[in-house]
Amino acid sequence: MHFAHLPAGYITSKLFVKKFEKRKVTAKTFIQWGMFGAIAPDLDFIYYVVDHSKHDHHQFYTHFPFVWMVLFFLSLFALLLDFNRGRTMAFAFIFTFNGLIHTLLDTIAGYVLIFAPFADINKPFTLAHYFPWDEGFLELFVILWALYLWKKDKILGVFSKIGSSLNMIE
Ligand SMILES: [Zn+2]
């Protein structure tokens, strides 16, 4: 997965933001944290560049689904215990959730060490063989979905205008 991580982060953040209205989170900040989480696993590129490592970057711990699953459940737990209904835990939730989604999307598109650090580090796993779509279609689908959510009001407005102008013709 190359281009769809940010749009995927936008989609999940946009779908979740209403659930956190009581916590007085601003939609913009919430979505920013979500989109940051959606690309956070790829920050291992920095290590890759500094280290001049010959490893595939999916072999670093930022790409272990297990790591994100632990972070996600910790943040979910903290969110449920956070009776003050603060914003921080809402941001932590969407950040770690999108990090987890990132590793799952990478599993669909390519090889990921799904059982690391417990299983053989040299045996990456992919869902690509089981997925009916090409990676490109998946990316396109995610990007179009994000664009739709971003411009939903305008798109619906155009359709309602077309609809009402068709009524006028009749
Ligand atoms: Zn990645």
* Interval between CA 40 and ligand 1 midpoint (Å): 8
| 115 or 45: which leads in pLDDT | 45
Nearest to 131 by CA among 154, 108, 104, 155: 108
How many Å separate Cα 86 from the centre of its chain? Answer: 22
Q: How many domains does the chain have?
A: 1
- Mean pLDDT computed over every residue of the chain: 84
* Interval between CA 80 and ligand 1 midpoint (Å): 28
Boundaries of domain holding 81: 5-169
* Interval between CA 109 and ligand 1 midpoint (Å): 10
Residues with CB under 5 A from ligand 1 (ion): 41-42, 106
* Interval between CA 63 and ligand 1 midpoint (Å): 6
CB 39 within 8 A of CB 103: no
Tens of pLDDT, residues 107-117: 887 777 776 66
How many Å separate Cα 144 from the centre of its chain? Answer: 15
pTM of the model: 0.81
